[in-house]
Amino acid sequence: MIKHTVSEPKKSFSSTLLIVIGLVVAVNFSVHIINRLPGSYGGLGGLILILALAIYTSRLMNRKLASYIYEWDGEKLRISKKIGRRDKMVLELPKENIQWIRPLEEIRSQLPQMKRPRKTMALSCRLQGDAIYLLQYVDGKRTYRVIFEPGGKLQKELKKAAKEN
């Protein structure tokens, strides 16, 4: 069994503290500006601020705090997402369903000409770089894609499985 875990590099305490202080100041300043808006514009501004913070928090959870675990036993690819102590199975993909796996940077320019998949899932901490791959698979009659970061050995095994299909 091949097991590969990826996560965002841990930041120093001082840089994390600066980010938190910056966010608190930015939110406080935004609330101050929103409170000066006339009429119901303040409520609309507050709603926009809440939505922006929700999107940022979601990004923070999925990219910066999560770690992804890729497991290959020769028959199935299992991808789990771990946030803190909680480990959640995200995808279990049989070997027969894998169509191809390619480096994302290499194939990015070709994507607009390719047939669009039903869904593309980003199961990686990063979405750019040489270590990022795009895997296409079928489930029934529908095509899906996964953006992920397999290690060298895992990537070779998945390419071999895709060629067999």
The Cα 84–Cα 109 span in angstroms is 36
> Which of 164, 159, 150 has its CA nearest to residue 6?
150
The confidence score (pLDDT) of residue 64 equals 78
User: Residue 10: pLDDT above 80?
Assistant: no
Q: Residue 103: enclosing H or E segment and its boundaries?
A: strand 98-103
The pLDDT of residue 105 is: 92
Short-list 124, 103, 105, 135, CA closest to 5? 124
The CATH classification of domain 67-161, taken from the options 1.50.10, 1.10.10, 2.60.120, 2.30.29 = 2.30.29
Over range 118-141, report the average pLDDT.
Answer: 90
Which one has a higher pLDDT value, 15 or 54? 54
Q: Does position 21 have pLDDT exceeding 90, yes or no?
A: yes
CB–CB of 80/90 below 8 Å? yes
Q: In the block, which residue shows the tokens 């501004």?
A: 45
Of 159, 163, 158, nearest to 74 (Cα)? 158
| Per-residue pLDDT tens digits for 35-65 | 888 878 888 888 999 999 899 888 877 777 8
For the chain, the 3-state helix, strand and coil shares in percent, each to the nearest 5, are 45, 30, 25
pLDDT by residue (tens digit) across 55-103?
Answer: 988 887 777 788 999 999 989 999 999 988 888 999 999 999 999 999 9
